[in-house]
Amino acid sequence: MKATIITIGDEILIGQIVDTNSEWMAQELNKIGVDVYEIISISDNREHILSAFAKAESQSDIVLMTGGLGPTKDDITKKTICEYTNDTLVLNQDVLDHVTQLFAKYVKDAMVDMNKDQALVPSQAQIIKNDFGTAPGMWFENNGVIFISMPGVPFEMKEIMLSGVLPRLKAMPGLPFIHHRTILTAGQGESTIATRLEDWQNNLPASIKLAYLPSLGTVRLRLSSKGMDKGHILKSVDDQIKELYLLIPDIIVGESNEEGLVDQVSRLFKEQNKSLATAESCTGGKIANLITEIPGASQFFKGSTITYATASKVDILGIDETLIDKYSVVSHEVAEAMAVAAKKKFESNYAIATTGNAGPSKGDSDAPVGTVYIGIATEDESFALKFMMGNHRERVIQKTVNKAFELLQKELLKKGGQ
Amino acid sequence: MKATIITIGDEILIGQIVDTNSEWMAQELNKIGVDVYEIISISDNREHILSAFAKAESQSDIVLMTGGLGPTKDDITKKTICEYTNDTLVLNQDVLDHVTQLFAKYVKDAMVDMNKDQALVPSQAQIIKNDFGTAPGMWFENNGVIFISMPGVPFEMKEIMLSGVLPRLKAMPGLPFIHHRTILTAGQGESTIATRLEDWQNNLPASIKLAYLPSLGTVRLRLSSKGMDKGHILKSVDDQIKELYLLIPDIIVGESNEEGLVDQVSRLFKEQNKSLATAESCTGGKIANLITEIPGASQFFKGSTITYATASKVDILGIDETLIDKYSVVSHEVAEAMAVAAKKKFESNYAIATTGNAGPSKGDSDAPVGTVYIGIATEDESFALKFMMGNHRERVIQKTVNKAFELLQKELLKKGGQ
């Protein structure tokens, strides 16, 4: 079953917002066996919406669209749906009641006509309830193709998808089983790996697709397969993964399917009932921030100090000032001392620390731009490692964050394996 | 001049990555007066790439594409360009020299044939140098339409756009002037504002387009206009903005054009030569993280403590334990004390603190999910404010972060205005 996603809104085409809706929808659709054939982003323009509907209808079984459902004049999706399907807008009492309730509960202003217009829906559309907002989801068909219209506000769209769209699509007959497995490698580049895997890749069954996904020092190898015979698919992909482990054992660091590296590390902390603190300088809280985005982080995350200024490394973490004077603030010794101090201050089992120079200009140290030290304190030991992360500020930070999680994962897996 | 952006890669359609390239390209193209008509995301599939090329060519003057230029077999963009333009791949010596140099400098592995293939380019394409990677940018024409192909790695694409694409597009004749101004409002909903502005909106000149952009407690009103007469456009938009200030003075909190709220606050700190520290609980370092993403943050940002566990509020920040016992960790008193403690610990001029319950379950306090206190310490005073941020974890955090920057902005503007 093939889907086209249409995101509607001028703000996407002028680059005012990043379209994260498509990514999320694509992910969820893939999980239930719906192929996303194309993602189209267009403006709030009648002709363009109509032509996108026609194109999507011609190439897919399901068309999912977001955006253009606000109460103001620039939002024209509902009107245009009516024009496309030869329908008219009618008042839906359930939606009106819901909007009225939302206003009574959350909004201080009185309801205006425009809010009531949110309850106008195409007469042939089935309503999908939007618990978090005034614009309902709508499900209709045209020439046998399913169309689903949802608001563009991400958390409203997600709720509608999870409660009203995905369960219904999943129940439809004929959905194939889709299976992805992704091997995470580190230490060699895409082309070197591809050369090592050339014979294997040439002999891959046609039903299995391979992709190389390079990202900041790691390359993920994704195997994908789909079909109606779930057992066969699972086994054939598993067989190939086993071969990979035999062919490139030196560079495989794990599997990363649904679960990203941050999730993996978080799960390991919870499973092992250990806690973590961070002391961040050049990463500016990004490590802590990624951890606390995960619900339940408070189970293992104690906290962090972000000591951006050199003086605060002394005052807040209690790093020995002579250490900084002797080795400089960007050094092996200071990174390790920061990790040890954070572990002690926060009374955690593990701590990770970063100090470095992300650029663009040199900071409180003479270390060249891109020099980063990561310190780690475990229950048994503490140490620091030096990395040269290039000269691109954002990348230096992101690579440091990735590397920090990689180091934590390695330490936790050691323990888990014991 | 109209552009279509095509992003090529299976990883987008299965939701493995968010397509941030399109947003950035759209933004930059808009700045120089190029309209983005449509963004299309497709897989690494020959037929689909060919049909996207044909569609894009039929509807635009410029086609920008990213992705599918890696050295491995799944990347087929170059081959498909040749098929579309009746061209063949030839070895480009400049690119080969560049790839060889990159390998000598950064890569430990020996170069393999696949790396040399990066120097194969369509014979009619002009090369745009890629300083950060092995896949060059390519510029070619087909039936009078400009096609530009770039790698999908964001920082490589950005460098190619900035150095080789945008300057060349900008120099082309006939580009209109595009002008956006965005007013930031707070305190009323989209529909209430629209009702207040109905007459004004009905009388807007046809050349000016209005959009409502609601986001977590704020609504931005964006006016857009374009044409060849820059002076006239600037004045006519400015006239309308002035009217807005007369019509809704009570809810306008500022303008947010290119500059987001975080940038504004950072600029104010630098201009006023003041410093900031943060003490974050429920926001988990997100405030600090947003600040440190801005180059030059070290000029005013001293650091942060993320005290996720209650005990660490006492140990690290030195909050009086009896205060927590008496008022609970999510309270007016603790938020204010955290800000005061952070200001003192980091020796900063300002400090902002967050404590709250973002959910999904209750933490170390009895406060209902969504309760947040933001504490602020300035040079003259300290206080805390209570907010109810709803029951959606991500939103609670994001709204708290926005509100914190809003409060800082307000305090700094007070000072700046004196």
pLDDT given at position B416: 67
Helix (H, G, I), strand (E, B) or coil at A212: strand
- Do residues A296 and A333 share a domain? yes
The tokens for A263 are 């999730």
pLDDT given at position B364: 64
Q: How confident is the model at residue A259 (pLDDT cuts 50, 70, 90)?
A: low
- Do residues B28 and B121 share a domain? yes
For A188, name the nearest residue in chain B, comparing CA atoms only: B109
Q: By the CB < 8 Å criterion, does B212 face chain A?
A: yes
Contact B312/A297, CB-based, under 8 Å? no
Q: How confident is the model at residue A150 (pLDDT cuts 50, 70, 90)?
A: very high
What dihedral do alpha carbons B364, B367, B368, B369 form, nearest 10°?
A: -50
Helix (H, G, I), strand (E, B) or coil at B65: strand
CATH code for position A162: 3.40.980.10
Residue owning tokens 């482990």: A245
Per-residue pLDDT tens for A296-345? 888 899 999 998 777 777 778 888 889 888 998 899 999 999 999 999 99
Is the confidence at residue B108, as pLDDT, over 70? no
Is the confidence at residue A257, as pLDDT, over 70? no
- Do residues A6 and A148 share a domain? yes
* Cβ neighbours of A298 in B, within 8 Å: 308-309, 363
* Of the partner residues A191, A212, A301, the one whose CB lies closest to the CB of residue B74: A212
- Do residues A182 and A279 share a domain? no
Contact A26/B11, CB-based, under 8 Å? no
**Average pLDDT, stretch B321-336?**
91
* Cβ neighbours of A113 in B, within 8 Å: 195
**Average pLDDT, stretch B366-384?**
92
pLDDT given at position A313: 77
* Cβ neighbours of A188 in B, within 8 Å: 109
Please give the span between the terminal C-alpha atoms of chain A, in angstroms, as a whole number: 46
- Do residues A96 and A205 share a domain? no
Do B282 and B354 meet the contact criterion of CB atoms below 8 Å apart?
yes
Q: How confident is the model at residue B288 (pLDDT cuts 50, 70, 90)?
A: very high
- Do residues A226 and A167 share a domain? no
- Do residues A350 and A385 share a domain? yes
Q: How confident is the model at residue B84 (pLDDT cuts 50, 70, 90)?
A: very high
- Do residues A296 and A411 share a domain? yes
The domain in which residue A88 lies consists of: 2-171
**Segment among B125-129, B151-155, B253-257 with least mean pLDDT:** B253-257
The tokens for B336 are 């204010």
Q: By the CB < 8 Å criterion, does B395 face chain A?
A: yes
Q: How confident is the model at residue A418 (pLDDT cuts 50, 70, 90)?
A: very low
Among B1, B39, B60, B132, the strongest candidate for a mutation testing the A interface, having the largest count of A CBs within 10 A, is B39
The residue with greater pLDDT, B335 or A102, is: B335
Q: By the CB < 8 Å criterion, does B36 face chain A?
A: yes
Choose the final residue of a domain: A232, A256, A280: A256
Q: How confident is the model at residue B111 (pLDDT cuts 50, 70, 90)?
A: confident
Choose the final residue of a domain: A141, A171, A201: A171
Q: How confident is the model at residue B64 (pLDDT cuts 50, 70, 90)?
A: very high
For B361, name the nearest residue in chain A, comparing CA atoms only: A296
Do B408 and B294 meet the contact criterion of CB atoms below 8 Å apart?
no
Most confident range, picked from B113-127, B157-171, B219-233, B348-362 = B157-171
Choose the final residue of a domain: A121, A145, A171: A171
The pTM assigned to this predicted structure is 0.73
Do A390 and A370 meet the contact criterion of CB atoms below 8 Å apart?
yes
Number of domains into which chain B is organized: 3
**Average pLDDT, stretch B122-134?**
92
* Of the partner residues A25, A30, A292, the one whose CB lies closest to the CB of residue B285: A292
Contact A306/B304, CB-based, under 8 Å? yes
B224-238: string of b/e by CB count within 10 Å (b at 16+)? Answer: bbbeeeeeebeebbe
pLDDT given at position A12: 85
Do A350 and A415 meet the contact criterion of CB atoms below 8 Å apart?
no
**Average pLDDT, stretch B133-142?**
94
Q: By the CB < 8 Å criterion, does A194 face chain B?
A: yes
What ipTM goes with this model? 0.72
The mean predicted confidence, pLDDT, of chain B is: 88
pLDDT given at position B275: 95
- Do residues B242 and B280 share a domain? no
**Which residues have a Cβ under 8 Å from the Cβ of A350 and sit 6 or more positions away?**
A269, A274, A275, A276, A277, A343, A376, A377, A378, A379, A408, A411, A412
- Do residues A18 and A152 share a domain? yes
- Do residues B145 and B186 share a domain? no
Contact B306/A305, CB-based, under 8 Å? yes
Contact A303/B308, CB-based, under 8 Å? yes
pLDDT given at position A63: 98
Which contacts of A195-203 are long-range, i.e. CB under 8 A and separated by 24 or more positions? A195/B112, A195/B113, A195/B114, A196/A247, A196/A248, A197/A244, A197/A247, A197/A248, A200/A240, A200/A243, A200/A244, A200/A247, A201/B73
CATH code for position A247: 3.30.70.2860
- Do residues A265 and A305 share a domain? yes
Is the confidence at residue B418, as pLDDT, over 50? no
